[in-house]
Structure 1
Amino acid sequence: MTTFDRDLTSVQQARDLAVRSREAMRSFQFAEQSTVDRICEAMVAAAVREAARLGQLAHDETGFGYPDHKRLKNQFAAQGVWDSIKDVPTCGVLRRDDVAKVIEIGAPVGVLCALTPSTNPTSTAIFKVLIGVKARNGVVVSPHPSSATCTAEAVRVMVEAGEAAGMPEGLVSCMTDLTIQGTNELMNHHAVSMILATGGPGMVKAAHSCGKPALGVGPGNVPAYVDRSADVVKAAEMIVESKSFDCSTICATEQSVIADRPIAEQLKREMRSRGAHWLTPDEAEKLASRMFRPNGMMIADYVGRTPQRLGELAGIDVPGSARVLVADLEGVGPKFPLSREKLTSVLGFMVEDGWHAGCERSIQLLRFGGDGHSVVIHSRDEESIMAFGIEKPAFRILVNTWGSLGGVGFTTGIRPSMTLGPGGMGGAAVSDNITVEHVLNVKRIAYHLHDVDPAARTAHGGGAGSVPPAASPEADLIERVVRRVVEEMRR
């Protein structure tokens, strides 16, 4: 009996799943919108129904966060994301501009390689499968090895429901024989068209190095500035609630608080009353020395842990009432390790005098490890809010809200997403919250402009807009031709 090495088995599985997904995608690429939406709705319903069980599985396998918080993230990744994209057209004619004579037609990107992290293993899988199928793409999920079982189960739940509703077999799948070689094979495989990379910097860098489109994330060393004009009580409550949510495993979570000097002591009192436990300088130094590697990367055992567990690991006393640990910071940079991104229940705290100084300190923190990601400001001063929006090297300026849930679009009007782009300055292709439009290609049928009235062309900018289809013989002809082409290609 022949025995294959694990890496060979993983490479072969990656090849098989990618090819099978592409074949299924080709049979699905001309599906009607009603069919696509019916399949997506079935997957959403299944994910919501299983949200609690999947959340518990994720916690049990990784040890990160709280099961109930993971349930909420699963529900958000399914129902919250679906509510934001369900009315987005992805099939057939998307838009028609009868003035500029441009018709836009939706098309899938192809097969998506969906890399998922251990911090949000089930919710990210649910989210990526959903936006992928909504745009008629194939999706092959490659989990983080430390969360392989729960991610595979989340994908199984989605696949079972989707295929029962008419999704082609093999369109969506998950790697189960996991090795670095297998994941690299999947990312580089000719049948894969795009990579959705959510995870650590090494994996994201590898995704961007594959020579094909990749939508990646970046670290989120998120500063939270509390201005003297803020509602300090609300700010304290939101900061503690947000930082403690699932033990800070969402990358948009606050990492350091910058308090305006006149309200700093009040903010401390209010945070303490809500479960923030201040570390002594010796305790903070002890924790920092054990939590990070020499290169600044967090040691996995400290990621996503409760304050009490962090106390046990670092050998410091932490009361049972503590919801987050807070350390006063004297500066930003390698000499001050706790000014780094901390995907766990530890928060830095600094005091500055005035929003100009708070603004500069926020920039320091972002440039130290969060360029392009997010910043939080608690203020009732529109001037300082606008200054933060204009000057900060961040693409999500979250005002008077949670960093964690605000950044993903749960408590704000930002598009709901579990993958947050930090833009070019953060090493990513886009600065958006990734959603269905990013995995949807658009064809354009454009007519010779000689046949367009010059005045109408000038008024309309000469380009396609969002003018609704007009009832005309020409419009009816276009619809008939599109239907005929789709029917022929299905055959």
Structure 2
Amino acid sequence: MATVSYTSRSATPDNEADPVAALVARARAAQLIANGYDQARTDELVAAAGWAIMEPTRNRALAELAVADTGIGNVDDKIRKNYRKTLGLLRDLKGAPSVGVISEDPAKGLVEIARPVGVVAAVTPSTNPAATPANKIINALKGRNAVIVAPSPKGVTACALLLEYIHAEFDRIAAPRDLVQMLPAPISKASTQALMQQCDLVVVTGSQSNVKNAYASGTPAFGVGAGNVASIVDETADCDASAEKIVRSKTFDNATSCSSENSVVLVDAVYDRMLAALAACGAVLLDADQKAAVQKLMWPDGKLSSRAIGQSAQAIARGAGLDDLGAPSVLMVEEAQIGPAHPYSGEKLSPVLAVYRARDFDDAKQIVERIYAHQGAGHSVSLHSTRDERALDLGLNLAVARVIVNQAHCIATGGSFDNGLPFSLSMGCGTWGGNNFSDNMNYRHYLNTTRIARPIAEVVPSDEAVLGEFFEKYGR
């Protein structure tokens, strides 16, 4: 197979005075080599990058470094996340065609051919400084692309170690290291912006500021919307099972995931029972004074503080001077208001949960609609119920791309072994969330597709065949 460039952008000169241009030039040279790979060789790249983070000793080292350097989350959950998210992604990619002809439809005379997008700029957050880069790298490699990571400044060392492990695996299979690179430290807004402008595709997970910068870079971009997940618990729910799932989701990696519940909306008929069930799982309901103390710690100047992000409920309670709470799993606050003046109604990135009381399911739906009008539109909603039609109701009427039913939300939303969603750490939120896609981001987003169209027997329908019902109702 000829090693011709698959990108529409001209190669960037290797200018040593411009380190970003030099990275891009090396990435383009490596991507030219990958252009010649067949499916089997491409899948070796994928396996090598996956094993780089899954291997137990390396996985632990990455998790420990991530927590040590960012101060966010906890080691054991990051180990589980690094392993399970990567294992699930490799499962999704195994046997998936991404090289050459990937589908044929003789009846329509169509053939689809997968082509690389070129050099991918992957902007990643501090909340998942190993798992998110790995996910993007693996998806990019599945399409025979090169990828350059722009990590969060706090996540530089973990990302660098991940790349060290990937390069070691590439050496084993004699693949070019320059297929996977990262911006050199110190990471700056200027270097990240330069990278986005010089690459062929930008995929960005993290702050909405980064997403907006990606869209304004002049390069095609996929960005994700803000998370602020609400969970409805209706009168038919199993309260004990629902509480266990909510607390398990809300405490995983200290709620660093955009898919962690930020609010629970409890139907009045189960309000007291659900609070008791949540308390049995270690969640503590704060009184008004305690709520005010935690709010002062979390939003001292109106902006969510690093003293709260990714910290345990116990650490947040201690920081707020609430030492008498013991060792809570989650801090709960009753809330009735929504909007900028009521910060508990927004995303908290910590095991702090706003609790809303609803008259019934319809009222709960309206409360969630108001929450998402404030923040979180497009992402997803959680439902605990035995009435399946209510999931369809939410899907038809709420501004969400996903309805997660009777599951631990943060584990389920990005794909799980017990649901059918693709494994991903980047969830599109559609136009509701200011995004151009509403899928769980996957390898197909890292491909161009060329279509061959051959002539088939012409079939031209009559006016009656396509407009008959309209004519019958309204006349010609």
Question: Normalized against structure 1, the TM-score is what?
Answer: 0.87
Contact 2:400 2:429 in 1 (8 A): yes
Contact 1:39 1:166 in 2 (8 A): no
Structure 2 match to 1:476 = none
1:133-167 CA deviation, whole Å, 9 max, x = no partner?
01101100011001110111112212321342132
Structure 2 match to 1:390 = 396
Q: In the alignment, does 2:410 pair up with 1:404?
A: yes
- Figure out how many residues of one structure are paired with residues of the other and give that number: 444
Structure 2 match to 1:467 = none
Structure 2 match to 1:133 = 141
Q: In the alignment, does 2:475 pair up with 1:454?
A: no
1:446 and 1:11 map into 2 onto residues whose CA distance is: 46
Structure 2 match to 1:308 = 314
The alpha-carbon deviation at position 168 of structure 1 amounts to 2.0
The alpha-carbon deviation at position 457 of structure 1 amounts to 11
Cα 1:318–1:106 change in 2 (3 A) is farther
Structure 2 match to 1:374 = 380
1:53 and 1:41 map into 2 onto residues whose CA distance is: 20
The one-letter code matched in structure 1 to 2:387 is: D
2:327 and 2:319 map into 1 onto residues whose CA distance is: 18
2:245 to 222, 238, 262: 238
Share of identical aligned residues, percent?
31
Structure 1 match to 2:51 = 45
1:70 and 1:393 map into 2 onto residues whose CA distance is: 30
1:104-253 pair list within 5 angstroms: 104-177=112-185, 178-189=187-198, 192-253=199-260
Contact 1:11 1:186 in 2 (8 A): no
1:220 and 1:299 map into 2 onto residues whose CA distance is: 17
2:17 and 2:263 map into 1 onto residues whose CA distance is: 42
2:171 and 2:367 map into 1 onto residues whose CA distance is: 51
Cα 1:101–1:271 change in 2 (3 A) is same
2:256 and 2:445 map into 1 onto residues whose CA distance is: 24
The alpha-carbon deviation at position 267 of structure 1 amounts to 0.5
Once structures 1 and 2 are overlaid, which stretch shifts more, 73-82 or 63-72? Answer: 73-82
The alpha-carbon deviation at position 293 of structure 1 amounts to 5.7
The one-letter code matched in structure 1 to 2:261 is: E
Once structures 1 and 2 are overlaid, which stretch shifts more, 389-398 or 307-316? Answer: 307-316
Q: Structure 2: which 5+ runs fail to align?
A: 1-14, 463-476
1:325-474 pair list within 5 angstroms: 325-410=331-416, 411-447=418-454, 449=455, 452-454=456-458
Cα 1:298–1:457 change in 2 (3 A) is farther
2:326 and 2:168 map into 1 onto residues whose CA distance is: 42
The one-letter code matched in structure 1 to 2:337 is: G
1:437 and 1:407 map into 2 onto residues whose CA distance is: 18
Moved beyond 3 Å, runs of 4+: 454-458
The alpha-carbon deviation at position 12 of structure 1 amounts to 2.7
Give the SS at the match of 1:244. helix
**RCO higher in structure (CA 8 A, sep ≥6):** 1
Question: Normalized against structure 2, the TM-score is what?
Answer: 0.90
Q: In the alignment, does 2:88 pair up with 1:80?
A: yes
Give the SS at the match of 1:225. strand
1:290 and 1:12 map into 2 onto residues whose CA distance is: 42
Contact 2:317 2:325 in 1 (8 A): no
The one-letter code matched in structure 2 to 1:198 is: T
1:55-113 CA deviation, whole Å, 9 max, x = no partner?
11111111111101001111123211110112210111111222222221111001000
Structure 1 match to 2:471 = none
1:317-345 CA deviation, whole Å, 9 max, x = no partner?
35343111110102111232111111011
Q: CA RMSD in A?
A: 1.8
Contact 1:238 1:401 in 2 (8 A): yes
